[in-house]
Structure 1
């Protein structure tokens, strides 16, 4: 008799937890580590991120296509996931273990530190792409229907919030006591342990492996012709930029805007991410009630409004209150897109007769992950306008710079995201929402 843990939403969520702890530590602290701690110039950091995105534009769609075409007795996604585990862990350690001789070059031309950062970033993001493309392709493949996907997404995001809490709030404690290198070893070990437990309880549907794959050109032609696919992911890319800014700018915001010591950054981060864990259940109920499209639009609006209090916060207490408010908006954006994304993939399968989660996840992942460039450009532009260059040269008014980056820039980005979301049109949209409600 098969175990109840096989393909359960809880085991799928454990996979998210495994990936998100090191990924969130990277997202939240790589800029702080390289720019503020090691002194890498903000322009060099932006250049490295831009070069990575050119590589990412190539590898993500190809990885998705190859994953869809994979045919083994273990499945399409598992071989890729198993193969990427050691590479992901090793390069994560490399990112946060810069030799002193390399770090010292920041005081001169900084080129050795730049090359170390660039090489580590490309390797890490390549390993990450393999894992995220194949993991993301599993949700619409394993869970059918709005109800099951909303439930799986809510549980997944609960695990994600726990991981984000650890990756943000616990990380400062670890690198204070163990150093950034020691922190990276601890998170790499946690990643391997939890990911192996998830994969042990993953069993891919055999029917997905039996379908003949589309040829290369046909596979991408069908994806690129899907108007709603592009609108959905373009809107999400601007919202995803806000996620990146919130995570990566909090240490700067705490230091320069709120004026709190580094030891209290964990409390500020916890105020954002702890409330999200129970709030994903609230957004699960909203998604069930409104359906995928309307709940997604609502989440974007709420997320934008929730970033406003961060502009006015003062000190640790004010920062915590503002953090709780923004956590509600963040929870909505984390839960609602999965339901609508699954619907887009289902419609494609009805049209082509093939399940192509890999290609859609990869191409969509590249569009949304381009938010990293938007985030890096926002950091660079605001920093240059207001005089912030690095921790060595913070300029005359770093407080204003990071209030812009943590509040006003996110509000603007989410306004664009909401506007784009109203371009999404689905035939029978209202009927689909009513059907969803009746099923629930």
Structure 2
């Protein structure tokens, strides 16, 4: 019997990328402006804000692996991931609005020394992190499940990262315009609406493969024991954690680099940021071709090498023009690092499925995400160590050579971290050669 023609757009890479746009726009606005809103606008003490952030990070470390395991165990007529994604939609939108819509009576307590604003902030952070984790774990688990083979995964990852860069630009550049006109509360309603519309459009075109929900799940301890004893899993994510640190340093150090190394005014910092992130959108297509031809492991190693080499021009730039040229260079390396890991990560999950007889994308996505998110600590440690060594304390006390401090942080430290990533990647043992152009293995339902 001839198989029915798949409905247009079902499980396409563009549909999958729309989910990234939906989640990343409010997430980027959150990451960029929640501290500014609570600390600068509402007057929450920096110590209390740091305490809430610490609790938030601890909860994030605990809940992600548990959510991944629960998602893998889910059995429903709609699949494993869709029930979780649909269930988290209203919670994410509501909590995002609540995060940026603090009642005046609560905000006023900060000036009086009360703790009501702190409790509101803490509750909003924990709830937002929980809803976000449900979304990100299940969304991330879908890529290796829906797209089989290096070619399909490279394309899906490239499209996904293009949407991510677009969302970062929207969440960073459009947010100040929105809260200046509508206030932070109005901004949160706009982004919540964008999230719901785009996410529902994505979910309507999502069909999970039926075989994934027919397999009996592994017991809890066995599932994590097998995952954590996977040597290639650890090598892959440890290498990525050092490379991910470079991403964090780029985003956080560019304003300092612009001021102290390039000597340009704050009004031109956005141009420097754009020179790094805007070229990523077309450059992901280049890395899709590379990943398709070389496969997951070789393209991933090549991307780590290219990322390290591309950080060198930042050391030599002396003006806005030189900084923009250097930004475009490192954007090429960044595009490679954004596209290629998904191809190899999917391969690790495929080999695990061959050994265990179960698809366990949720556990691998959640545990791997926790490892790579440790890069935030590495980034903070690098800033502290280099600043201490070269005398930088703060804007009020920049030390004898702030230019050297931030040239080291934005160029030499990334080169060193990426060299370490490449060295670790050489320990990865490829078990089987993957077919580069294997078609998508899951027909539409």
TM range (shorter): 0.7 to 0.9
Report the more deviating stretch, 263-272 or 98-107. Answer: 98-107
Q: Distance in 1 between matches of 2:115 and 2:259?
A: 27
Q: Distance in 1 between matches of 2:319 and 2:124?
A: 35
Q: Distance in 2 between matches of 1:117 and 1:256?
A: 34
**1:25-64 pair list within 5 angstroms:** 25-30=29-34, 48-64=52-68
CA spacing shift, 1:311–1:88, aligned 2, 3 Å: farther
- Contact 2:140–2:365 under 8 Å retained in 1: yes
Correspondence for 1:85 among 82, 89, 111: 89
Residue 147 of structure 1 corresponds to which residue in structure 2?
A: 151
2:426 counterpart of 1:422: yes
Q: Distance in 2 between matches of 1:107 and 1:402?
A: 36
Q: Distance in 2 between matches of 1:309 and 1:327?
A: 12
Q: Distance in 2 between matches of 1:248 and 1:101?
A: 34
Shift of 1:214: 0.9
Residue 300 of structure 1 corresponds to which residue in structure 2?
A: 304
Q: Distance in 2 between matches of 1:293 and 1:407?
A: 25
2:414 counterpart of 1:410: yes
2:245 counterpart of 1:206: no
5+ long unaligned stretches in structure 1: none
Report the more deviating stretch, 103-112 or 263-272. Answer: 103-112
- Contact 1:106–1:113 under 8 Å retained in 2: yes
Report the more deviating stretch, 278-287 or 241-250. Answer: 241-250
Q: Distance in 1 between matches of 2:183 and 2:250?
A: 23
2:142 counterpart of 1:138: yes
- Contact 1:46–1:376 under 8 Å retained in 2: no
Q: Distance in 1 between matches of 2:183 and 2:405?
A: 28
Shift of 1:354: 0.7
- Contact 1:27–1:247 under 8 Å retained in 2: no
Q: Distance in 2 between matches of 1:336 and 1:422?
A: 16
Alignment partner of 1:3: what SS? coil
Larger helix fraction of residues = 1
5+ long unaligned stretches in structure 2: 441-445
Residue 398 of structure 2 corresponds to which residue in structure 1?
A: 396
2:11 counterpart of 1:15: no
Residue 272 of structure 2 corresponds to which residue in structure 1?
A: 268
Q: Distance in 2 between matches of 1:334 and 1:43?
A: 34
Structure 1, residues 134-174: CA drift from partner, whole Å, max 9, x if none? 00111111111111111111121221222222223433444
CA spacing shift, 1:294–1:284, aligned 2, 3 Å: same
Q: Distance in 1 between matches of 2:288 and 2:81?
A: 27
CA RMSD of aligned residues (A): 3.3
Q: Distance in 1 between matches of 2:312 and 2:47?
A: 28
Q: Distance in 1 between matches of 2:421 and 2:134?
A: 27
- Contact 1:291–1:437 under 8 Å retained in 2: no
2:338 counterpart of 1:334: yes
Correspondence for 1:72 among 76, 83, 91: 76
Correspondence for 2:349 among 345, 358, 370: 345
Shift of 1:60: 0.7
Alignment partner of 1:81: what SS? helix
Report the more deviating stretch, 177-186 or 208-217. Answer: 177-186
Report the more deviating stretch, 11-20 or 117-126. Answer: 117-126
Residue 156 of structure 1 corresponds to which residue in structure 2?
A: 160
- Contact 1:96–1:181 under 8 Å retained in 2: yes
CA spacing shift, 1:408–1:126, aligned 2, 3 Å: farther
Q: TM-score, normalised by structure 1?
A: 0.86
CA spacing shift, 1:319–1:169, aligned 2, 3 Å: farther
**1:97-112 pair list within 5 angstroms:** 97=101
Q: TM-score, normalised by structure 2?
A: 0.85
Q: Distance in 2 between matches of 1:63 and 1:5?
A: 28
2:248 counterpart of 1:244: yes
Q: Distance in 1 between matches of 2:259 and 2:109?
A: 25
Report the more deviating stretch, 67-76 or 239-248. Answer: 239-248
How many pairs align? Answer: 433
Shift of 1:380: 5.0
Residue 375 of structure 2 corresponds to which residue in structure 1?
A: 371
CA spacing shift, 1:303–1:424, aligned 2, 3 Å: same
